[in-house]
């Protein structure tokens, strides 16, 4: 079987530094896709850059925590804090959304916000390559059913199904093992629940996803190890390239090495290793046809 790899950059539109890192990693390296935050501080710049870079496949990076909504805050009071922005804590927000959805109101508000972000993406004029979520919130049990309902109307044909082999991640970097074990267990469960639903809806997903346990530190050593051990099938590597520290994201991403990720994605050694392993670079847009 062939080995195909999607290399995606998250948080496109969050800040000029992120936009510059993604475009450079695409132009000079192996990155083929980006996920757009439609309400990010530099979203308009990201759209302009994407239009000027038509080979870059762009999807929606659905934001339901740590950002601003696309819908008027008054229409989604259960999703936002006193200042009209989403709350910062992903676990607490996920529990809040689940409770609100059980009560009935939350699901309506989630649908309103998700549609608003899809509408903002469509208004950009860009083709929708895929959908994923900031902090993988698109797999939340109350969010995914809404996305599946909206998929035919909004042309959602591919989605990130976050599930990374834990053993390999810990062998590469045993630090923060407790966090990695916890997030691995959570997303293995969510992915197992989501996979048959995506198949039934005809939505494409990669066989496995890398980068979650190495978030903010997808360096050259990590990508070289991945190239050497990549199994047959379709894999996705998602990362957070940035040309310097983005002030707009710094408080949520302490210690992230965006420039190191740009260096890894543009490394001639990485390109040579992928070529030597017979890995074909692709995108969700190509997979979905």
User: How confident is the prediction for the chain on average, in pLDDT?
Assistant: 94
pLDDT confidence of residue 168 = 84
* pLDDT tens digits, 61-84: 999 999 999 999 999 998 999 899
Considering only CA atoms, which of 15, 31, 17, 23 is closest in space to residue 49? Answer: 23
Q: Using one digit for the tens of pLDDT, what is the confidence trace for 4-32?
A: 999 999 999 999 999 999 999 999 999 99
Four-point Cα dihedral 243, 248, 249, 251, nearest 10: 130
Ordered domains of the chain (ranges, CATH): 3-288 (3.20.20.370)
pLDDT at residue 101 tops 80:
no
Of the listed ranges 104-108, 164-168, 246-250, the one predicted with least confidence: 104-108
3-state secondary structure of 233: strand
Residues ≥6 apart with Cβ < 8 Å to 119: 70
The model's pLDDT over 220-240, given as tens digits with 9 standing for 90+, comes to 999 999 999 999 999 999 999
- As a whole number of angstroms, the distance between CA 124 and CA 44 comes to 8
Q: Is the pLDDT of residue 1 over 70?
A: yes
User: Sorting pLDDT into bands at 50, 70 and 90, what band is 245?
Assistant: confident
The pLDDT tens digits for 30-72 are 999 999 999 999 999 999 999 999 999 999 999 999 999 999 9
% the chain with pLDDT above 90:
84
- Three-state DSSP at 79 gives coil
* pLDDT on residue 250: 87
Q: Which of 88-92, 93-97, 266-270 has the lowest mean pLDDT?
A: 93-97
Structure tokens, 27: 């132009």
Q: Identify the DSSP state of 72.
A: -
Specify the pTM.
Answer: 0.95
pLDDT of amino acid 237: 98
CA distance 78 to 58: 29
> Is the pLDDT reported for residue 102 higher than 60?
no
Say whether pLDDT at 150 is over 80.
yes
* pLDDT confidence band for 211 (50 / 70 / 90): very high
How much is the pLDDT for 167? 86
DSSP output for 158-186 = BB------HHHHHHH--TTHHHHHHHHHH
Q: What was the pLDDT predicted at 163? A: 86
Alpha-carbon distance 242 to 265, whole Å?
Answer: 11
pLDDT at 172: 87
Q: What is the mean pLDDT of residues 264-285?
A: 98
| CA 209 – CA 206 distance, rounded (Å) | 7
What's the length of the chain?
289
For residues 37 and 134, give the distance between their C-alpha atoms in angstroms, rounded to a whole number. Answer: 8
pLDDT for the residue 103: 58
Tell me which H or E stretch contains 275. Answer: helix 268-276
């Amino acid at each position: 079987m062939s080995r195909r790899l999607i290399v995606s950059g998250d948080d496109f539109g969050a800040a000029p530094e992120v936009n510059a890192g993604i475009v450079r990693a695409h132009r000079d390296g192996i990155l083929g896709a980006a996920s757009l935050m439609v309400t990010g501080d530099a979203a308009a710049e990201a759209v302009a850059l994407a239009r000027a870079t038509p080979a870059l496949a762009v999807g929606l990076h659905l934001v339901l925590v740590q950002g601003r909504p696309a819908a008027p805050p008054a229409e989604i009071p259960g999703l936002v804090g006193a200042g009209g922005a989403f709350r910062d804590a992903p676990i607490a927000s996920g529990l809040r959304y689940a409770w609100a959805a059980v009560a009935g109101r939350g699901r309506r508000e989630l649908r309103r916000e998700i549609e608003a972000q899809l509408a903002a993406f469509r208004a950009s004029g860009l083709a929708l390559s895929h959908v994923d979520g900031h902090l993988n919130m698109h797999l939340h049990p109350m969010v995914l059913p809404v996305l599946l309902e909206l998929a035919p109307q909004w042309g959602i044909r591919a989605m990130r199904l976050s599930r990374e082999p834990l053993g390999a991640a810990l062998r590469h970097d045993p630090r923060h093992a407790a966090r990695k074990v916890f997030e691995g267990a959570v997303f293995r469960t969510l992915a197992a629940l989501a996979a048959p639903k995506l198949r039934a809806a005809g939505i494409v997903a990669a066989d496995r996803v890398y980068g979650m346990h190495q978030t903010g530190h997808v360096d050259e050593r990590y990508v070289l190890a991945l190239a050497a051990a990549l199994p047959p099938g379709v894999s996705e590597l998602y990362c957070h390239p940035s040309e310097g520290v983005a002030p707009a994201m710094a408080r949520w991403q302490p210690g992230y090495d965006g420039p190191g990720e740009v260096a890894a994605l543009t490394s001639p050694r990485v390109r040579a290793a992928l070529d030597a392993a017979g890995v074909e670079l692709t995108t969700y847009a190509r997979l979905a046809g």
